[in-house]
Amino acid sequence: MNLPRFSVRRPVLVSMVALIVIVVGCVALSKLQIDLLPEVELPRLTVRTGYEDASPEVMERLVTRIVEEIVATVPGVEEMTSSSSEGNSAVRLTFSPDTDIDTAALDVQARLEDELNEFPDDIQRPRVSKFDIGSFPVVILGISSDLDPIELTELVENQIRYRFGRIPGVAQVDPWGGFNREIRIELDVDRVRALGLPLNDLLQTIRDANIDLPTGSINQGRYEVMLRAPAEFQSLDEIRDLVVATRDDVAVTLGQVATVKDTYERLTRLIRVNGKPGLRLAIRKESGANTVEVSGAILQEIERVARDFPQIEIVPVSNQGNFIERSIQNVSRSVLYGGLLAVLVLLYFLRDVRSTSVIALSIPISVLATLAVVYINGLTINLMTLGGLALGVGMMVDSSIVVLENIYRRRREESETPSQAAIRGTREVGTAIIASTITTLVVFLPIVFVEGVTGMLFKEFAYVVVIALLCSLAVALTLVPMLASRLMSSDHTETQTTRTRAGNGLYEHMLRTALAQRWLVLATAAGLVGLSVLVVPRIGSEFLPPSDEGEVRVTGEMEIGTRLDLVDRQTRIMEQTIVDHVPERIAQIASVGASGWRPDSGARGSIAITLMPSDQRSRSSEQIAQDLRQRLEGTIPGMTVRTRASQGQNLLTRILPDGGGISVEIRGFELDVLQELARQVAANIADIEGITDVDIGRRNGVPQEQLIIDRAKAADLGLSARRLAEVLETAISGRRAGNFQAQGNSYPIRVQISDAINLQLEEILSLTVRTPDGVDVALRNVLSVEPGRGPTVIDRKQQQRFLAVDLNVSERDMGSVAREIEQRLMTIPRPAGYDMQVAGSYREQQEAFAELLLSIALALALVYMVLASQYESLRDPFVVMLSVPLAAVGVLLTLYLTGTTLNIQSYIGCIMLGGIVVNNAILLVDQAEQLRGRGLSIQASALEAGRRRIRPILMTSTTTMLGLLPLAFGIGEGADAQAPLARAVIGGLFASMLITLIVVPVAYTLVHTEPEADRA
């Protein structure tokens, strides 16, 4: 079927199809959801197990290692890491990308259930949870008030929390840092000792007095009556009046030996919002819910909550939705500006508004058609899909330009009617534009084989570019000839300007000179390629380009075991420094103390700072971080301060297997040896240029006094290790003695020694425990004390202990820093069975680069095969492929001159170039082949092909480059993440365009000789 002829003869049909596409595309655009990145569900599981009061070593031996052995047999497990801390075990599994995570979760749970008898009897059953990128908080709120802390906590827990939880799309609302109410019974140690009251008996007495048990039912007349014996405490006075012992026929009440307080649980973490005590709310969205819509609804609810509760202040400390909206808007503007620049270039070359409007119409139609397909396939508007559109905008008009330029040339040179020129001109270049489109599309095929995070992210990018180019090809073969036949003027007078004719004449002169010195031209081109390769060592490398996300985190760490109040005091100094020297801040939230299941952060204070949008401040987040580092480093006694700006996409950093940045992992068994090796590594790499904030993951451990039980004495007295441990727990940390009911809520009752945290060890050993014979025995008679230090967390990877040395990189690329670290590690001696390696996102970078290099090689091979199939020749594709190494000259020089690193974005740009730069060569070779078939000589065919195709080559290349130019500047949120791709494409295309116009005709005349033409 002759599409150009059909389109020219059926203009109404083609117009209606175009209108249908526009309408459907507009509707799709209005319904498309916005997100930062494509939906990514990593095949990862976490198995959490609790074992109350077990030390990290016990957790590792009795729980973690058993879980690891069980789940290691599950098919598809690629990596296993674990953490064992007091009372908690977490084993994290990473599966191969093709693993069905739901099936894997069921398989893991089933295997754990089958082996439950391998675990201690009183553990909490292992819980399996899926890792989903949507589970990270979309909004983090800071709540502060002048209310009593307990009252504020209850207000948030009972009312505000549920208002946010009812918002459509919200999955979970987690409060953090609250003052949780409890009834605390603080025993007077002197009175308890004087009266000889065993702690375990006191605890049991309180428990027995606070019960509510059903006693059954009786028949009473016509009714069956339930009997109850409620004996729960109704007030604090009831607790105080409880008789706990009798001495000399005198009742001893609890109030006489203890103070009963209505207070809050012992604080292990403090939260301050903009300097005021408060709480933190982490709000997570449901998987599949739109981030921007959910965050927008949360912000609206904040306004309503502020109106209903004027006594509290709610500050959105972190809001993914705002950053996403600004990023998408910024990149969208870059796409729009790129399209406008492309149209202006066309107007400059064509000098005709009608002709320009023909091509200008192809851009929105192709874009809307692409968006319709994106919507139908359930994708979102995100940085990846917009990056594909930004690249596609310049390329969308390539085919249309070639078609229109050829129609224009036939009108000018052949004096054909508009309809004849439209049909014949389109048919003449139809093969060439189809070939160039296919070669561009085929470069994306290898991306299918890219695994891991890189593959999951860039599949949508490739999909959008493929759809955009197919739509633009359809527009070029149908709509463009139809519009050209109607809009092109019947007057075909010469419209070339003097400047254009002079430019064409100069090019013809240069090409004639090059054809006369062909080997010199090729040698010069090869020399340029060789010289550009010398720049490679000067170009840095990293996994992701740095991106200013408007967040800075300051962390201060003191010696493990430091009291919470001391850590808080030093953290306040950091807060004040931030208030005085960061005017760009919008909000800040300080967290002091341990977080979650990692108690090794108990001596740490961290401050998250939210900054103004980048266009409203003069300093970048990295500059602010550097300024704070200089002001805080070494100025706070006893505290090591580290400052870090969010470099790269926060979400993407979180989904990497080893997290972001660089770390050195040291593997072995003995914790002391690991600690010593970590010290050597930290000292060895600290002076490497660009490294800041070196942090050893585990230090000397938490200070502890080990109370060793004399088992022989305990056995003689009839005392078990459990009974002795329970007495100590009751005295120090306190034990729960039931619940206190008030206003429909239940609050724990905790029994412990008064001011237990400040007790001396001698006072603790003076406490008594009652033997089965009724004899009170002091604890010092069965316990001895050994001072020492113990680990707070034991980390393992691939069933082996490891210790990480973390660090930040500033003002230098990550790749060169990692290579220098590897060289330093080779100089550190290590015992047998111990290993060191660079990890973090550097490992992911190495794996991604290896796969992307393979993809580039595979893409070039596929392009050659496609060209060979189309030309039915092995020589002509070789000539076309010469444009690829010539593009490398522009890529490397552009990256070097702009200070851009080699990262996954610039690598994807190189893959794209493999399909783009050959398009110019295809136009030249295809035209030369047609002219040679008409009887022209090899030299004449090459010269005429260059003359005829220079304008469309300049036009297509310039529109593609200018279409990407706004993105290449990397201005504003989101754009800097896509800038390396745009710069790589622009640089490669510019160099290839200039060199190809000379080298390809020269190479064509070398591989084709006149005798061969005669035989043909």
pLDDT, tens digit (0-9, with 9 covering 90-100), for 904-932: 888 888 887 877 888 788 878 888 888 88
* Mean of pLDDT values over 361-388: 85
The CATH number given to 501-538+873-1015 is 1.20.1640.10
- The lowest-confidence range among 457-461, 867-871, 1012-1016 is 1012-1016
Give 813-824 as a DSSP string: -HHHHHHHHHHH
Contact, 477 vs 466, CB < 8 A?
A: no
Q: Do residues 678 and 661 make contact, with C-beta atoms less than 8 angstroms apart?
A: no
Whether residue 406 contacts residue 425, with contact meaning beta carbons closer than 8 Å, is answered with: yes
Q: How far apart are CA 476 and CA 480, in angstroms?
A: 5
Nearest residue to 788 (alpha-carbon basis) of 854, 701, 675: 701
Q: How far is residue 646's CA from residue 940's CA, in Å, rounded to a whole number?
A: 59
Q: Which CATH number fits domain 44-131: 1.10.1200.10, 3.30.70.1430, 3.90.550.10, 3.90.1150.10?
A: 3.30.70.1430
Would you call 532 helix, strand, or coil by DSSP?
A: helix
As a whole number, mean pLDDT of residues 793-807 equals 87
CATH class for the domain made up of 198-256+703-790: alpha beta
Q: Is 813 helix (H, G, I), strand (E, B) or coil?
A: coil
Query: For residue range 144-182, what is the model confidence (pLDDT) as tens digits?
Result: 888 888 888 889 888 898 899 899 888 788 888 888 888
Q: According to the model, what pLDDT value does residue 1014 have?
A: 47
The answer to whether residue 742 scores a pLDDT higher than 60 is: yes
Residue appearing with tokens 């398009």 = 919
What pLDDT is attached to residue 304? Answer: 92
The kind and range of the H/E element at 564 are helix 564-581
- The SS3 of residue 287 is coil
What distances in angstroms separate CA 479 from CA 343, 484, 973, one per listed residue? 17, 8, 37
Chain-centroid distance, C-alpha 141: 20
For residue 133, pLDDT over 80 is answered with no
Q: Are 804 and 667 in contact (CB under 8 A)?
A: no
Distance, in Å, from the CA atom of 81 to the CA atom of 603, rounded to the nearest integer, reads 24
Residue spans in the chain of domains classed CATH 1.20.1640.10: 1-31+352-490, 501-538+873-1015
| Three-class DSSP category at 590 | strand
Q: Which of 814, 823, 810, 820 is nearest to 843 (CA)?
A: 814
Residues 6 or more apart whose Cβ sits within 8 Å of residue 144: 272, 273, 274, 276, 277, 278, 279, 312, 313, 315
The residue among 330, 299, 332, 329 whose CA lies nearest residue 316 is 299
* CATH fourth-level superfamily of 551-702+793-838: Multidrug efflux transporter AcrB pore domain (3.30.70.1430)
Give me the chain's average pLDDT, please: 82
Confidence (pLDDT) at 1016: 40
- Cα separation, 67 vs 108, in Å, equals 10
pLDDT band (50, 70, 90) for residue 356: confident
Q: How far apart are CA 1013 and CA 1016, in angstroms?
A: 5
More confident residue, 718 or 743: 718
Cα→Cα distances 860→398, 536, 803, 857, 864, Å: 21, 20, 43, 5, 6
pLDDT for position 40: 65
* Beta pairing, strands 181-187 & 745-753: parallel
CB hemisphere CA count around 101 (13 angstroms):
15
State pLDDT tens for residues 93-121: 888 777 887 888 899 999 998 888 888 87
Q: How many CB atoms lie within 10 A of CB 537?
A: 8
Residue with tokens 């955009």, as numbered in its chain: 468
CA 593 to chain centre: 26
**CA-based nearest residue to 319, from 610, 750, 615:** 610
* Cβ neighbour number for residue 705 with a 10 Å cutoff: 11
* Contact call for residues 572 and 585 (beta carbons, < 8 A): no
**Contact in structure between 250 and 257 (CB atoms under 8 Å):** no
The structure tokens 């060592």 sit at 537
Across the range 730-738, mean pLDDT stands at 82
Let me know if 601 is exposed, middle or buried by CB neighbors in 10 A (0-12, 13-18, 19+).
Answer: buried
For residue range 3-55, list pLDDT tens digits in order.
Answer: 888 888 888 998 899 899 999 999 998 888 887 777 765 677 889 898 876 88
Token pair belonging to 152: 């504020």
Residues in Cβ contact with 573 at an 8 Å cutoff, skipping those fewer than 6 apart? 636
In the block, tokens 């007057």 appear at 491
| φ, ψ for residue 204, nearest 5 deg | -70, -35
How would residue 646 be classed by pLDDT, with cut points 50, 70 and 90? confident
Query: Are the C-beta atoms of residues 606 and 570 closer than 8 Å to each other?
Result: no
Print the SS3 string covering 202-257: HHHHHHHCCEEEEEEEEEECCEEEEEEEEECCCCHHHHHCCEEEEECCEEEEHHHH
Q: Could you report the per-residue pLDDT of 282-297, keeping only the tens digit for each?
A: 888 876 677 888 888 9
Burial code (b: 16+ CB inside 10 Å, e: under 16) for 354-373 equals ebbebbbbbbbbbbbbbbbb
Residue type, 148: D
The kind and range of the H/E element at 127 are strand 124-130
Label residue 493 by pLDDT band (50, 70, 90): very low
The structure tokens listed for 698 are 């585990």
Say what the pLDDT of residue 220 is: 85
Encode pLDDT of 210-235 as tens digits: 887 777 888 888 888 888 777 888 88
| pLDDT at position 465 | 85
pLDDT digits over 678-717, tens only?
A: 889 988 888 888 888 787 765 556 667 778 888 888 888 8
pLDDT reported for residue 384: 81
pLDDT of residue 134: 46
CATH code for the part of the protein at 1-31+352-490? 1.20.1640.10
pLDDT in tens, 849-874: 888 888 888 888 888 888 888 778 88
| Confidence grade of residue 600 (pLDDT, cut at 50, 70, 90) | low
CA proximity to 81, closest of 73, 96, 95, 91:
91
Query: What is the distance between the alpha carbons of residues 619 and 647, in angstroms, rounded to a whole number?
Result: 15
Task: Give span(s): CATH 3.30.70.1430, the chain.
Answer: 44-131, 551-702+793-838
Which pLDDT score, from 0 to 100, does residue 494 have? 45
* pLDDT > 50? residue 1015: no
Answer whether residue 1010 shows pLDDT above 70.
no
One-letter-per-residue 3-state SS of 839-865: EEHHHHHHHHHHHHHHHHHHHHHHHHH
Can you tell me the distance from the alpha carbon of 423 to that of 414, in angstroms, rounded to the nearest whole number?
A: 13
196-210 tens-digit pLDDT: 888 878 888 888 888
What pLDDT is recorded for position 730?
80
For CATH 3.30.2090.10, list the domain ranges present in the chain.
198-256+703-790
Distance CA 846, CA 832 (A): 27
> Between the CA atoms of 751, 755, 758 and 759, what dihedral angle is there, to the nearest 10 degrees?
-60
Partners of residue 702 on adjacent β-strands:
790
| pLDDT over 90 at 414, yes or no | no
Closest CA to 56 of 82, 83, 84: 84
Residue written as token pair 């439209």: 422
Angstrom distance (rounded) from CA 942 to CA 956:
20
In 810-908 the beta strands, taken as DSSP E runs, fall at 835-840
Mean pLDDT check: name the lowest of 438-447, 485-494, 944-953, 976-985.
485-494
Whether the per-residue pLDDT at 649 is higher than 50: the answer is no
Task: Using the predicted structure, report yes or no on whether residue 626 has a pLDDT greater than 80.
Answer: yes
Highest-confidence range of 235-244, 265-274, 723-732, by mean pLDDT?
Answer: 235-244
Please, which residues have CB within 8 angstroms of residue 760's CB and are 6 or more apart in sequence? none
Q: How far is the C-alpha of 886 from the C-alpha of 527, rounded, in Å?
A: 10
User: Which helix or strand (DSSP H or E) is residue 366 part of?
Assistant: helix 353-376
Q: What is the mean pLDDT of residues 450-466?
A: 80
Q: Half-sphere exposure of 308 toward its Cβ, with a 13 Å CA cutoff?
A: 11
527-575 pLDDT, tens per residue? 988 888 888 888 888 877 777 778 888 988 888 778 888 999 999 999 9
